[in-house]
């Protein structure tokens, strides 16, 4: 065995072996050979040698005693011992060589030794060798990019109203702007007494330059006084570098909402279809003229027929082709096949009383694709004798621009709530 190992070393191969799993002052072959890197197992909770890991004069490197790996059935499993630690060292060696294939086995071995994280007494010692193998330091030593940890939480600020005894969800985007996989903890501060805040998911793992949505669920108590303000700071902090963090501010004001504009007459289903390829109606809108200066909720009577492939989006605009002042989306599964009032709890919008605004309904997959499996129906009221909502009218966008629906007196069902 010794001869075979020496021949492999002379051919330029790098040999790595576990020291043994008995907790003895003895490194077993082939790890004890000069041509082999002897690896011991580290207790990751104590930053020290695992009590069952063998040690001795030949010990060179340490790596975690436990390893997690995939199985043939695409599940995960764990195993432990110095053989598991050996896998870590072999992987780091392969990483170094993949970055610079011109390196010799002796050079790779020296890089592994000189870039470790020291354990135990300073320098080499018989219980932990040269220290814990460090993939980042090893890669940087051969010209690789240094690891950076960073995070962004957006938007920076968000403001809204909340009613007593109400629960509302707010969504922030968490982005890993570093170049390493990182784990983040999400904390909240500034929560008033009696209020409840939950964050989901928490903690969060993210690959470099990827993002995810964080939901902050806030409940105001039933006795929350009107006009009470809660300024809640949401902070994302890196586990790998505790100095890396970013924060957003959520400002909530307790308000009692009242209904302002509405058209609640119903009677005809069908004219409000959208996201329906056979009729090519992509979007439907209803204009309204508010008397309140703040809009907090929009309610419409809506249903889902079949299996729409896109979410239903309800937005508020100050012109039909303008940007959304606020919007809310819900999934098809949250709607029934029969029409019912659905609340779209939008972020507060400042309105100018007396000015015309538009409630716009659309599906984010609405197209002429004949494979569209379903559609949404926003219930309407059609009358030949009276105008259900005289301060507005209904519009449709069939893909070539908005047009009003002048036949009869057509108005969509809706309610606006604000303060």
pLDDT for 271 equals: 43
Say what percent of the chain tops pLDDT 70: 93
Query: End of a domain among 193, 221, 254?
Result: 254
Residue 276 has pLDDT above 80, yes or no: no
Which position has the higher pLDDT, 248 or 393? 248
Given a contact cutoff of 8 angstroms between Cβ atoms, the answer to whether 286 and 412 are in contact is yes
Query: End of a domain among 95, 119, 141?
Result: 141
Say what percent of the chain tops pLDDT 90: 74
Residues 103 and 228 in one domain: no
Domain of residue 186, residue span: 151-254
Residue 7: CATH number of its domain: 3.40.50.200
DSSP-based three-state secondary structure for 185: strand
| Spatial separation of the C-alpha atoms in residues 4 and 1, rounded to whole Å | 5
Residues 352 and 279 in one domain: yes
Residues 173 and 305 in one domain: no
Least confident of 85-94, 291-300, 324-333, 352-361: 324-333
Residue 269 has pLDDT above 80, yes or no: no
pLDDT for 198 equals: 98
Residues 265 and 223 in one domain: no
pLDDT for 362 equals: 87
HSE-CB of 147 using CA atoms within 13 angstroms: 14
Q: Is residue 146 part of a domain?
A: no
Q: Is residue 410 part of a domain?
A: yes
Angle at 398 between CA 392 and CA 404, to 5 degrees: 25
Residues 283 and 217 in one domain: no
| Spatial separation of the C-alpha atoms in residues 119 and 131, rounded to whole Å | 5
Residue 356: CATH number of its domain: 2.60.120
pLDDT band with cut points at 50, 70 and 90 for residue 265? confident
CA separation, residue 306 to residues 204, 250, 301, 376, 411 (Å): 35, 38, 17, 9, 24
Residue 295 has pLDDT above 50, yes or no: yes
Question: Over the stretch 377-418, which tens digit does the pLDDT of each residue have?
Answer: 888 887 766 778 999 999 988 777 888 876 567 889 999 999
Residues 399 and 293 in one domain: yes
Query: End of a domain among 222, 237, 254?
Result: 254
pLDDT for 371 equals: 46
Residues 219 and 136 in one domain: no
Residues 236 and 267 in one domain: no
Least confident of 178-182, 189-193, 332-336: 332-336
Q: Is residue 59 part of a domain?
A: yes
> What would the two tokens of residue 42 be?
């580290």
Residues 300 and 245 in one domain: no
Total domain count, the chain: 3
Average pLDDT of the chain is 91
Residues 274 and 374 in one domain: yes
Q: Is residue 235 part of a domain?
A: yes
Which position has the higher pLDDT, 203 or 407? 203
Q: Which residues are registered as beta bridge partners of 284?
A: 361, 396
CA 333 to chain centre: 21
Question: Residue with structure tokens 């299996």?
Answer: 307
> What would the two tokens of residue 364 be?
């984010």
Q: DSSP letters of 152-168?
A: EEE-SEEEEEE-TT-EE
pLDDT for 134 equals: 96
pLDDT for 275 equals: 46
Residue 345 has pLDDT above 50, yes or no: yes
DSSP-based three-state secondary structure for 93: helix
Least confident of 70-84, 110-124, 273-287, 331-345: 273-287
**What is the mean pLDDT of the segment spanning 188-201?**
98
Residues 268 and 414 in one domain: yes
Question: Over the stretch 74-96, which tens digit does the pLDDT of each residue have?
Answer: 999 999 999 999 999 999 999 99
Question: Over the stretch 48-66, which tens digit does the pLDDT of each residue have?
Answer: 999 999 999 999 999 999 9
pLDDT band with cut points at 50, 70 and 90 for residue 278? very low
Q: How far apart are the first and last CA of the chain?
A: 84
pLDDT for 311 equals: 86
**What is the mean pLDDT of the segment spanning 351-369?**
82
pLDDT band with cut points at 50, 70 and 90 for residue 347? very high
pLDDT for 279 equals: 43
Other beta carbons within 10 Å of 284: 26
Residues 161 and 219 in one domain: yes
What are the percentages of helix, strand and coil residues in the chain, rounded to 5? 10, 45, 45
Residue 172: CATH number of its domain: 2.60.40.2310
Q: Is residue 401 part of a domain?
A: yes
């Amino acid at each position: 065995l010794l001869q075979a190992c020496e021949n492999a070393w002379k051919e330029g191969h790098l040999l790595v072996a576990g020291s043994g799993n008995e907790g003895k002052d003895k490194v077993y072959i082939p790890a004890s050979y000069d041509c082999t890197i002897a690896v011991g197992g580290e207790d990751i909770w104590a930053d020290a040698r695992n009590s069952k890991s063998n040690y001795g004069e030949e010990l060179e490197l340490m790596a975690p005693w436990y390893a997690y790996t995939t199985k043939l059935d695409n599940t995960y499993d764990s195993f432990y011992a110095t053989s598991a630690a050996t896998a870590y060292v072999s992987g780091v060696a392969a990483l170094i060589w993949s970055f610079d294939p011109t390196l010799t086995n002796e050079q790779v071995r020296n890089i592994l030794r000189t870039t470790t994280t020291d354990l135990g007494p300073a320098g080499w010692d018989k219980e932990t060798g040269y220290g814990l193998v460090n993939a980042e330091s090893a890669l940087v030593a051969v010209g690789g990019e240094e690891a950076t940890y960073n995070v962004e939480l957006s938007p920076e600020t968000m403001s809204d109203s909340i009613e007593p005894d109400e629960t509302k969800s707010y969504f922030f985007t968490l982005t890993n702007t570093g170049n390493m996989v990182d784990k983040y903890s999400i904390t909240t501060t500034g929560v008033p007494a009696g209020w409840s805040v939950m964050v989901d998911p928490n903690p969060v793992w993210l690959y470099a330059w990827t993002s995810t949505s964080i939901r902050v669920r806030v409940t105001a108590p039933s006795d929350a006084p009107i006009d009470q303000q809660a300024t809640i700071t949401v902070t994302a902090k890196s586990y790998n570098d505790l100095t890396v963090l970013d924060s957003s501010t959520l400002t909530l004001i307790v308000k009692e909402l009242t209904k302002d504009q509405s058209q609640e007459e119903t009677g005809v289903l069908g004219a409000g279809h959208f996201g329906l390829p056979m009729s090519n109606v992509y979007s439907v809108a209803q204009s309204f003229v508010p008397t309140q200066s703040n809009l907090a909720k929009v309610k419409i009577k809506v249903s889902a027929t079949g299996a729409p492939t896109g979410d239903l989006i309800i937005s508020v605009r100050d012109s039909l082709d303008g940007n959304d002042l606020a919007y809310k989306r819900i999934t098809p599964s949250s709607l029934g096949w029969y029409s019912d009032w659905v609340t779209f709890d939008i972020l507060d919008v400042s309105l100018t009383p007396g000015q015309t605004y538009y409630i716009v309904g659309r599906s984010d997959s609405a197209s002429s694709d004949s494979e569209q499996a379903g559609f949404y129906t926003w219930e309407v009221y059609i009358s030949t004798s009276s105008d259900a909502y005289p301060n507005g009218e209904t519009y449709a966008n069939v893909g070539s621009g908005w047009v009003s629906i002048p036949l009869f007196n057509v108005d969509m069902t809706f309610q606006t709530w604000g303060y």
